[in-house]
Every structure is written in C-alpha cells, then in structure tokens.
C-alpha cells in the first residue's frame, strides 16, 4: 500500500511554515528539520502555484530522497494544501497501480504532479488513467528526469516538467511556470 503524507496547514508566517514543513518531513520518515532562515525563504514562495482556495496539490513519487528534497518547496508553493503519495517497495503491479490511484483520489487534488517511472514497471500514465476514470477534472503535470517522457505525457494532453532533484529551486520554478501556462 502506498503511503500518503498529507499537509493541510494554515501557513501565515515563517514560523508556521517551519512547523508545517518539519511536521510533513517527519511524517514522511525524514529526520531533517528546516532552519528559521530556510523557513523564511520558503515562506516567500507561499502560494506561488496560484491555486484557488479549494486547490490542492498532490505529488506522486517513488523516491523518498526526491520527495524529501521537493516536499518543503511544494508545500510552500501550494500554500499548505499539499500531499505526497509515495509508492511503497512491496506489492504487485496491478494492486499497486490501483492502490496509488486510490491514494491520489483520496487526497481530493485539483492538480497532480505525477512521476513517470514508478516501481515495478508501473508508469505514472497508468495511475493517471485510473484517477481520471474517477474524476476527469483533475489536472496533471508529468514529472520525470527523462526528457523523452515529455512526449508520452503530451499524448494525453498533459504538461511536463523535467525533474532535477539537484536543482530544486529551478525545478520548482518550472513547475510554477507550467501551472501558469496550463491556466492561461
């Protein structure tokens, strides 16, 4: 069963940004804590995705390390309305694609950042199709370190951002740009 790490936080200051981020990271199994300085920088990004009041961002990932690096920035960009769905390391292909889709659906997202290459040969596109069978109004952004995956997401009319865990700030900027492009 995939793990779901929700964060619905009222973030109105660097202190609440720090608390929400450390809580989210801790729930995901990270022992890392952000500093006051880092919290202040994250707070400057607050709501930068431009989600409306009902908007909610869910990210689907199979790498805990990538999730740990991106979670603070995605939490800030989503204005606190953010959840990670992390694929676990056990389970079968059919069971896991459906379980991932169910976890995504249960977060009630308006926008999903979907990793392409998941464990056990499951693709983000498979999960996306299952989610869209439930709710066609959910928007998706494909997310992969392989630029060749852009074409595959484009076949479904889905935007794409190249994942570069080593350049988190640049990656978050590209996600923000893609969301703005989608909404224009």
CATH number at residue 151: 3.40.50.2300
- pLDDT tier, 105 (very low <50, low <70, confident <90, very high otherwise): very high
Predicted local confidence at residue 109, as pLDDT = 93
pLDDT at 86: 86
| pTM for the predicted model, two decimal places | 0.90
The predicted structure's pLDDT at residue 147: 81
Percent with pLDDT over 90 in the chain: 53
State the residue range of the domain holding 100.
Answer: 3-183
User: What count of other Cβ atoms lies within 10 Å of the Cβ of residue 151?
Assistant: 10
CA angle, residues 106, 107, 113, in degrees to nearest 5: 120
pLDDT at 91: 55
49: pLDDT strictly greater than 60: yes
DSSP string, 64-88: HHHHHHHHHHHHHHTTTEEEEEE--
Mean pLDDT of the chain: 87
140: three-class secondary structure by DSSP:
strand
Per-residue pLDDT at 153 exceeds 70? yes
Measured CA to CA in angstroms, residue 28 lies from 68, 76, 104, 138, 139 at distances of 8, 16, 16, 24, 24
What angle is formed at CA 177 by the lines to CA 6 and CA 163, rounded to 5 degrees?
65
User: What is the model's pLDDT at position 4?
Assistant: 61
Q: What is the pLDDT of residues 52-73, one digit of tens each?
A: 777 899 999 988 888 899 999 9
- Taking residues 102-130, what's their average pLDDT? 91
Domains: count for the chain: 1
Q: Which positions ≥6 away from 164 have C-beta within 8 Å? A: 145, 170, 171
| Percent of the chain scoring above 70 in pLDDT | 91
State the average pLDDT over residues 83-105. Answer: 79
Q: Tell me phi and psi for residue 156, to 5 degrees.
A: -105, 10
Return d(Cα 64, Cα 102) in angstroms, integer.
Answer: 20
The count of residues in the chain is 184
Q: How confident is the model at residue 2 (pLDDT cuts 50, 70, 90)?
A: low
CA distance 29 to 31: 7
Say which residue, 131 or 145, is predicted with more confidence: 131
């Amino acid at each position: 069963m995939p793990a779901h790490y929700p964060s619905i936080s009222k973030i109105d200051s660097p202190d609440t940004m720090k608390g929400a981020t450390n809580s989210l990271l801790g729930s995901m199994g990270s022992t890392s804590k952000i500093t006051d300085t880092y919290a202040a920088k994250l707070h400057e990004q607050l709501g930068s995705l431009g989600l409306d009041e009902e908007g909610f961002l869910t990210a689907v990932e199979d790498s805990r390390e990538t999730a740990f690096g991106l979670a603070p920035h995605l939490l800030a960009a989503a204005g606190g309305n953010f959840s990670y769905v992390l694929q676990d390391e056990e389970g079968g292909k059919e069971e896991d694609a459906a379980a991932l889709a169910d976890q995504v659906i249960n977060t009630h997202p308006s926008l999903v950042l979907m990793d392409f290459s998941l464990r056990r040969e499951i693709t983000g596109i498979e999960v996306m199709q299952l989610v869209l069978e439930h709710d066609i109004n959910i928007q998706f952004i494909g997310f992969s370190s392989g630029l060749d995956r852009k074409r595959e997401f484009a076949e479904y009319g889905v935007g794409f951002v190249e994942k570069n865990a080593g350049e988190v700030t640049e990656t978050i900027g590209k996600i923000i740009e893609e969301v703005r492009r989608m909404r224009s």
